Amino acid sequence: MRCILVSVKTKKDKNKDVKYSLTELEGLVEAVNGKILGKLTQRKDIPEPSTFLGKGKVQELKEISEGIKADTVIFDTELTPVQISNLEKILGIDVLDRTDLILSIFSKRARTKQAKLQVELATLEHELPRVYGQKGKALSRIGGGMQTKGAGEKIGEIKIRTIKNRISKIKKELDKIKKQRKQQRTSRNKNPDIFKVSLVGYTNAGKSTLLNRLTKRDAFISDQLFATLDTKTSFINFSDIGKKVLITDTVGFVKDLPKELLDAFMATLEELEEADLILHVIDISDENWTKKVEYVNEILEKLNLHHKPTVLVMNKIDKVIPSEEFLEDSDETMFSRDKESIIISTQKGWNIDKLYQLLKKYASQPKEQPVL
Ligand SMILES: Nc1nc2c(ncn2[C@@H]2O[C@H](COP(=O)(O)OP(=O)(O)OP(=O)(O)O)[C@@H](O)[C@H]2O)c(=O)[nH]1
Ligand SMILES: [Mg+2]
């Protein structure tokens, strides 16, 4: 994929940081091994209903894309089906929006049956309104569909019905898997010697690396966005206190995750409800880490998990300080007033022992009784 990235700032998103948005889009493109050839930005208070960009800008985009032989244009926002189709006609190359891109990364990564079904569900739900859009187009082509039904409309109807059937079938299958997982969890919950920890955080923060480091196990790690889509679980045995700490990895968060995907992945995140402790993993070397923390907190709030005991795990400190000795001067309380924090380097193993001790401390405390 040879791409041009486009970022538009409209009146609606006054506070949008275009540079940050483009950097994130670059990360997403890299995650599908795309090559970025150019970037285009525009300030436009009200997007053009037909093409999102203004006429002049579309022409400019066409000239650039022809000049550098791009085959895909990717927008950092959501486009309507009509805008996508008009732009594709004018530019003569593929046009994707952010949701399309994220969906394609997720479908590449999904491995378990549950993850695959969740991604398929999200993709179909994203597609559905576009089929309606196509139907609209077909109708207008045959003169408003005043007389007999046009072929375009029939194809549209069949497609919609097929998608809807598939959606309801997937939902049933997912419900079944959800029930099975719940049963497994209930049997685990009955064991008072098990302490459950969940790793959450922005994509690429180092959650899977940390899970491996703590449990010496091989979860899939990659310097790509959304490396993990399947929740993995592993144990640490603290035999001296008679406790097993069960650690679960989760799917990484990303800002403005398409609603379809968030809904589809809520089921995996539901398991967080049963966590006794949340480790919020943060890439401290990322210049945008505070924004990312805020976003993860928003999601935790949406899931009603913000009152759970949470430790902020400031990871990748090796990219910020030259050696472990500098950790001694660090003041971990500066990151949050109400949450405990710890600075670590998963890769170098810095402060990992301290993290073990912290886990042990939490695991030995009596569990909070659930409110009935
Ligand atoms: N320098 C450095 N790199 C790290 C550290 N921890 C993890 N990484 C790297 O960061 C990248 C992302 O790590 P992952 O463990 O896959 O991140 P994740 O949070 O599981 O990401 P998703 O599954 O996409 O949500 C990998 O290239 C890791 O090797 C660290 O302490 N220091
Ligand atoms: Mg991961």
Provide the pLDDT for residue 16. Answer: 82
| Spans in the chain with pLDDT lower than 50 | 135-148
The encoded tokens of residue 84 equal 């996508």
| Beta strands across the sheet bearing 94-96 | 35-43, 2-9, 72-75, 94-96
pTM strictly above 0.75: yes
Phi-psi region of 304 (alpha: psi -120 to 50; beta: other; left: phi over 0): left
Q: How far, in Å, from the CA of 224 to the mean position of ligand 1?
A: 8
Amino acid at 251: V
Q: How far, in Å, from the CA of 221 to the mean position of ligand 1?
A: 7
Pocket test for ligand 1, best of 200, 209, 268 (most atoms within 8 A of CB): 209
Q: How far, in Å, from the CA of 212 to the mean position of ligand 2?
A: 10
CA atoms within 13 A on the CB side of 171: 11
d(CA 323, CA 225): 27
Provide the pLDDT for residue 240. Answer: 86
Domains, the chain: 2-96 (3.40.50.11060), 106-172 (no CATH), 191-364 (3.40.50.300)
Provide the pLDDT for residue 354. Answer: 93
Q: How far, in Å, from the CA of 211 to the mean position of ligand 1?
A: 10
d(CA 116, CA 108): 9
Provide the pLDDT for residue 143. Answer: 36
Q: Are 338 and 366 in contact (CB under 8 A)?
A: no
d(CA 70, CA 37): 7
Q: Which residue has the tokens 């923060």?
A: 205
- Residues having CB within 6 Å of any atom of ligand 1: 201, 203-209, 221-223, 225-228, 252, 315-316, 318-319, 345-347
Would you call 322 exposed, middle or buried from its count of C-beta atoms within 10 A (0-12, 13-18, 19+)? exposed
Tell me the per-residue pLDDT of 314-345, one tens digit each, with 9 for 90 and over: 999 999 999 988 888 778 888 888 899 999 99
Provide the pLDDT for residue 110. Answer: 78
Closest ligand 1 atom to Cα of 315: 31
Provide the pLDDT for residue 139. Answer: 36
User: Among all ligands shown, which has an atom nearest to the Cα of 223?
Assistant: 1
Provide the pLDDT for residue 114. Answer: 85
The encoded tokens of residue 362 equal 């939490």
Closest ligand 1 atom to Cα of 348: 31
Provide the pLDDT for residue 224. Answer: 62
User: Among all ligands shown, which has an atom nearest to the Cα of 314?
Assistant: 1
Q: Which residue has the tokens 């576009």?
A: 130
Q: How far, in Å, from the CA of 118 to the mean position of ligand 1?
A: 24
Q: How far, in Å, from the CA of 44 to the mean position of ligand 2?
A: 37
Q: What is the per-residue DSSP string for 240-305?
A: GGTEEEEEE--PPB-TT--HHHHHHHHHHHHGGGG-SEEEEEEETTSTTHHHHHHHHHHHHHHTT-
Which residues surround the ion ligand 2 when the cut-off is CB under 5 Å?
207-208, 227-228
